[in-house]
Amino acid sequence: MFKVNAHAPRALRRLVFAATAGVSLAAASFSAAPSAAYADTDPQVRPFAPFAPFLAPMGRASDHLTVTVRGTGGRGDGRFELACHPGSGSHPDVDGACGSLDRGARWGKDPFAPVSPDSVCTMMYGGPATAHVTGTWAGRPVDATFDRSNGCQMDRWNRLVPLLPDLR
C-alpha cells in the first residue's frame, strides 16, 4: 500500500494512516449503499428516507400530474392527466411525456425548477402560451407554471416537450 519512511515525523505517519483509513471507509460505504438502497422495492420501506426521492424504485406509482395548457392557438390547449410507471391518462403522448420527465429528473435534477433569477435571458417573445403543472413526481409535490415570455422561459418549456406542446 503506502510506504512511509520510518524516520519521518510521527505526525506525518499518523496523517497518512488517517487519510488512507478515511478513503478506505468512504469507498466501502459507497459500494454498500446501492445494494441497500435497492434491496426492497416496497414503496412503504424507505431505507434512506432523506434521499427517497432520488432512490425511488422504478415501479413507483405516485407519479401523477395534471397539465393545463392555454394560449397555444388550439394546437395543444386543454387539461390533461398523466400517470407514469405504468403510463396512462388523457395526455396525447403518455410514453413520450413520461420518458422526457424520467430523463429530466436523473441525478436529482428537478425538471420543474424555475429559471434562476440570476439568468441572463434573451428578450425574445415566444407567444402567449401558458401551462400549469400540478401533482406528484418522484415522490415530490409539483406546482409549476410555465410561459414563453423570454428565451430562458422558452428553453424551460422546450425541455419539457412532449409533456408540454411543441410550439417551435
Q: What is the pTM of this model?
A: 0.62
Instruction: For residues 31 and 95, state if they share a domain.
Output: no
pLDDT one-digit tens code per residue, 147-167: 999 999 999 999 999 999 999
Q: Which CATH number fits the domain that encloses residue 103? A: 3.30.350.10
Say yes or no: 125 and 146 in one domain.
yes
164 domain-assigned: no
| pLDDT tens-digit series, residues 119-152 | 999 999 999 999 999 999 988 899 999 999 999 9
Where helices occur in 51-148 by DSSP H, the ranges are 94-104
Residue 166 domain flag:
no
Task: Return the HEC string of 33-67.
Answer: HHHHHCCCCCCCCCCCHHHHHHCCCCCCCCCEEEE
> Is the residue at 78 inside a domain?
yes
Average pLDDT, whole number, for the chain?
77
Question: What domain range includes position 73?
Answer: 64-159
